[in-house]
Amino acid sequence: MMRLISIVCILLLVTSCKDNSIKPPEKPKNLISKDKMVDILYDMSLLSAAKGVNKRALESKGINPEAFIYEKYEIDSLQFAESNNYYAYDIKTYDDLFSRVKLKLQADKKAFNKEIEIEKRRLDSIRKSRQNPTKDTLRDRSRSSTKKIKPNL
């Protein structure tokens, strides 16, 4: 009996896994270009990060991240979903899109880190100048030169 059950299970597995390949999605009529898609995904990443850091600030200003993206790029949610689905079917293409997004984010991070470093140096120099006030060297010289010089005649 146990043998019969295991044979039936194996047959079910083999027959159920036949040709269930996923059909590629049709190319949408209003497909978003790859470059524009990279820009959209980049902005979505930034807004997602901003939403994660300070959700209340976005809400208090009435910013809906998705609606903002759709308005900025003059697309609708259906167009984005169809284009995203089309690109996501080909893993290599989708990976390329996200690699480009990652490069843009890394470039921004590098630029912001450079700005932060410049600001840190500026603040450090201000702090050091306040901690070590310079002495008035002219005042010190006038005190030390109180000796009168006799003219040679």
Domain membership of residue 76 as a residue range: 28-101
> Is 82 contained in some domain?
yes
**Prediction pTM value:** 0.66
Which 3 state secondary structure label does DSSP give 147? coil
- Whether 12 maps to a domain, the answer reads no
Lowest-pLDDT range of 54-68, 80-94, 128-142:
128-142
Domain assignment present for 57: yes
**Does the residue 78 lie in any domain?**
yes
Numbers of helices and strands, H then E, in the chain = 7, 0
pLDDT value of residue 89: 92
Instruction: Say which residues have a Cβ less than 8 Å from residue 75's Cβ, sequence separation at least 6.
Output: 32, 40
DSSP category for residue 127: H
* 137 in a structural domain: no
Tokens of 128: 């050091």
pLDDT tens column, 98-146: 999 999 999 999 999 999 999 999 888 888 877 766 665 666 555 555 5
Residue 152 domain-assigned? no
In a domain, residue 19? The reply is no
Predicted local distance difference test score (pLDDT) of residue 15: 67
How high does pLDDT run on average in the chain?
83
The DSSP code sequence of 90-106 is SHHHHHHHHHHHHHHHH
Q: How many domains does the chain have?
A: 1
